[in-house]
Structure 1
Amino acid sequence: MRLTVLGGCGAWPTAEQACSGYLVEYEDFRLLIDPGYATMPRLLRHAQVDAVDAVLVSHGHPDHCADLNPLLRARGLSDVPPPALPVYAPHGALNAVLALDRPGMLATAYDLHEFRPGHRLTVGPFTVDTCLLPHHVPNAGIRLATPDAVLAYTGDTGPSPDIPRLAEGADLFLSEATYVDKVPDADAPYLLTARLAGEYARQAGAGSLLLTHLWPDTDPDAALRTAAGAFSGPIDIAAPDLTQEAGHRP
């Protein structure tokens, strides 16, 4: 299983970094997870729009789904449109982004599969277990499994005992880490720190940790140092075009 980071910036994109977006490939199947702001240009560095086989969205905030619109436009308005794109998301999460165009304009470009976090999905070669994690809107933690590897992804979440269960034994744990070591009180139930991400990775026995959704202008080295205080395995920051392979450990 190969993960390519399209972006990992929280809230809004910067000149250097798109928002959340991840391309996961296995057995020639390409799954796009969370096409947030500014991820479409990054996607095109790695795959043509008609090469995306499915989209999976953790929740409805635009920094996780806004670029679904240009992706669907590029597919639906092309001279020879590809088949409808399977799109998986929690109920109602995509209502706003799918309403950006006139009714029916992109209706044939996608096939929407809504789910409730907690349900198991099958998406191409992936078994996808989901769980409801705390955020300002319903957010699905995601566990992707193949016979060869497991990737766990938090979406955006606050502290929860379900996080280490989601990531238990995962080869790669992709965790939101909006702040380095303290979340402002108003958002403390809904976002994580790099310190907590490291603690959850340790509790889960994850093979490696990839920190994402850092607040713009956060010092990545500070996030790495802080997470490393809790987790002794490999740690990296989700940066554009970073590619990681996930597979069974000995």
Structure 2
Amino acid sequence: MRLTVLGGCGAWPTAVQACSGYLVEQGGFRLLVDPGYATLPRLLLHGTVDAVDAVLISHGHPDHCADLSPLLRARGLSDDPPPALPVFAPRGALDAVLALDKPAMLADAYRLHEFDPGDRFDVGPFSTDTWLLPHFVPNAGLRLSTPGATLAYTGDTGPSPDIPRLARDADLFLSEATYVHRVPTADAASLLTARLAGEYARQAGAARLMLTHLWPGTDPDLAREAAADVFTSPVAVAAPDLVAEVGDGTWTVDTEATP
């Protein structure tokens, strides 16, 4: 299993970083997870829009799903449209994004498969387990498994005893880490720190940890150090074109994709 980071910025994109977006590949199947703001241009550095086989979305905040709209436009309005794109999302999460266009305009561009966090289902070669994790809107933690590898992803979440269960023995734990050491009181139930992400990775026995959804302007080295204080296995911070080979424990930067 291969994970390619398209973006890992929380809330809004910056000049150098798109919001949450990840391309997960297995046996030639390409799954796009959380196409947030500004992820489509990054995706196009790794292939054409018709090369995406399915989309999986953790929750309905636009920094995790807004670029589904241009992706569907690029597919559905092309001269030779590809088959309808399977899109998996929590029930109601995509109502606002899909309402940006007239229903008939892109009706043939996608097939929506809604689920309730807690459901289990398959997406191509990936066995998918989901957890309802605390956030401002319903959010599904995602665990993608193949016979050779397991990737666990929090989406956006606050503290929960279900997080170590989601990440149990995962080859790679991709965890939101909006703040470094302390979440503002008003948001404390809905977001994590890098240090707490490290603690959850330790409790879960995960092999590696990748921090994502950092607040814009956060120093990634400080986030990495905060997680590494409590999690002694490898820690990285999501950055454009960072590639993780989930089963064999390596990560590299795709220099060919970086403009």
Q: Is this a same-fold pair by TM over 0.5? A: yes
Determine the C-alpha separation between the residues in 2 that align with 1:215 and 1:92.
26
Residues matched between the structures, number: 249
Determine the C-alpha separation between the residues in 1 that align with 2:187 and 2:94.
23
**Superposed counterparts of 1:14-163, under 5 Å:** 14-163=14-163
Which residue of the partner structure matches residue 211 of structure 1? 211
**1:230 maps onto 2:223 in alignment:** no
**1:7 maps onto 2:7 in alignment:** yes
Percent identity over the alignment?
77
- Name the amino acid aligned to 1:9: C
Q: Please, which runs of 5 or more residues in structure 2 have no aligned partner?
A: 250-259
- Name the amino acid aligned to 2:152: A
Determine the C-alpha separation between the residues in 2 that align with 1:115 and 1:144.
15
- Name the amino acid aligned to 2:178: T
Secondary structure (helix, strand or coil) at the match of 2:86 reads: strand
Please, what is the CA RMSD of the aligned residues?
0.7
Determine the C-alpha separation between the residues in 1 that align with 2:233 and 2:134.
26
Which residue of the partner structure matches residue 253 of structure 2? none
- Name the amino acid aligned to 2:98: L
Determine the C-alpha separation between the residues in 1 that align with 2:159 and 2:186.
14
Give CA-to-partner distance per residue, 1:139-193, whole Å, 9 cap, x none: 0000000001000000000000000000000000000000000000000000000
Determine the C-alpha separation between the residues in 2 that align with 1:27 and 1:92.
31
Q: TM-score, length-normalised on structure 1?
A: 0.99
Which residue of the partner structure matches residue 179 of structure 1? 179
Q: Is the 8 A contact 1:148 1:248 kept in 2?
A: no
Residue 47 of structure 1, CA deviation: 1.6
Using the TM superposition, name which of 99-108 and 176-185 deviates more: 99-108
Determine the C-alpha separation between the residues in 1 that align with 2:208 and 2:180.
18
Residue 248 of structure 1, CA deviation: 6.1
- Name the amino acid aligned to 1:118: G
Runs of 4+ in 1 over 6 A off after TM superposition: none
Q: Is the 8 A contact 1:157 1:191 kept in 2?
A: yes
Which residue of the partner structure matches residue 255 of structure 2? none
- Name the amino acid aligned to 2:22: Y
Determine the C-alpha separation between the residues in 2 that align with 1:121 and 1:23.
19
Determine the C-alpha separation between the residues in 1 that align with 2:96 and 2:116.
18
Residue 103 of structure 1, CA deviation: 2.2
Give CA-to-partner distance per residue, 1:178-214, whole Å, 9 cap, x none: 0000000000000000000000000000010000000
Determine the C-alpha separation between the residues in 2 that align with 1:29 and 1:103.
28
Residue 104 of structure 1, CA deviation: 1.1
Determine the C-alpha separation between the residues in 1 that align with 2:121 and 2:93.
17
Secondary structure (helix, strand or coil) at the match of 1:8 reads: strand
Secondary structure (helix, strand or coil) at the match of 2:197 reads: helix
Determine the C-alpha separation between the residues in 2 that align with 1:105 and 1:25.
29
Determine the C-alpha separation between the residues in 2 that align with 1:108 and 1:96.
18
Q: Please, which runs of 5 or more residues in structure 1 have no aligned partner?
A: none
- Name the amino acid aligned to 2:147: P
Secondary structure (helix, strand or coil) at the match of 2:163 reads: helix
Determine the C-alpha separation between the residues in 1 that align with 2:106 and 2:194.
39
Determine the C-alpha separation between the residues in 2 that align with 1:69 and 1:29.
21
**Superposed counterparts of 1:188-207, under 5 Å:** 188-207=188-207
- Name the amino acid aligned to 1:64: H
